[in-house]
Amino acid sequence: MNTLTVGGCKIPVTNNIQSNLTEIKLAIDWASDNEVQLLVTPECALSGYLWAPRDQDPKIKELAEALEEIENYSKEKKVDLILGTACYNNNGNWANTQRYIFNGKFVNEYSKNLLIDPEFIYTSERSFPPIINYNGVKISGLICNDFWSNPVLFPGGSSQLLRHLLQNEVQIVFVSAYVPKEPGPENSFYYWHLGQISNMGLYCQFATVVSDASTNVDGSPYTGQPACPVGVWDMSGKSITGEKYFKHKFS
């Protein structure tokens, strides 16, 4: 694998776009100071989670302006992004997406496939995530439930997406997550997520970078045990690091 320094974050995600913008810019600042080339954010990190646009909704204009500000800021700081946000995608549908922003420009996107109630306000595109050659490294991304291979859905859904990454020999997968915060009895939900990360690293032979929110769905702070690990995992499934901001240099 070519040398590449990647990073992620565990930050608040609220329905206040300006607050989210501030948090993302702070993460970009950290990435710039720490020589991170490519940073992934949590699911819906800019837009906030679970709201739908309506005719003349002023939040749509505010969101578009915030996206433009992030593009300009990431270029200034020389940090590329895989940004989690809801927005109108290339097909004109309101979708939960990852937006690839390289050198301050929007270059690609992926819309979440596996939606659950009450996420049906978004449109699922039923498409595979893009495979991108980023500085000589094959990368891709998935959004939350797209990555967690739910036994109820197997062998469909997420397993098809993961097989797509395996068949295309992807080297690093960037996951924008927003999981329920309750870790389950004896942290069972946490270990279920961790097992998925480790198994995919071992089976599919890709490294994984997971960012998640530090808030509940309504945007209120969550200070309990995590339900999803955040950080970077190498191809053996070994955890490398994981804090509010985290990075790893692949070489």
Tell me the per-residue pLDDT of 56-90, one tens digit each, with 9 for 90 and over: 789 999 999 999 999 999 999 999 999 999 999 99
Dist. CA 222–CA 239, nearest whole Å: 23
For residues 40-51, average pLDDT: 96
For residues 20-30, average pLDDT: 98
Percentage of residues of the chain with pLDDT beyond 70: 96
Percentage of residues of the chain with pLDDT beyond 90: 69
CB 245 within 8 A of CB 36: no
**How many beta carbons lie within 10 A of that of residue 99, not counting itself?**
22
Query: What total of structural domains would you count in the chain?
Result: 1
Tell me the per-residue pLDDT of 87-141, one tens digit each, with 9 for 90 and over: 999 999 999 999 999 999 999 999 999 998 889 999 988 889 999 999 999 999 9
User: Which residue range is the domain that position 239 belongs to?
Assistant: 4-250
CATH number for the domain spanning 212: value is 3.60.110.10
Which among 231, 183, 243, 178 is positioned nearest to 207, based on CA atoms?
231
pLDDT for position 150: 63
Which among 153, 199, 144 is positioned nearest to 177, based on CA atoms?
144
pLDDT for position 224: 86
For residues 161-186, average pLDDT: 91
CB 19 within 8 A of CB 61: no
| Tokens coding 72 | 């300009």
**How many beta carbons lie within 10 A of that of residue 108, not counting itself?**
16
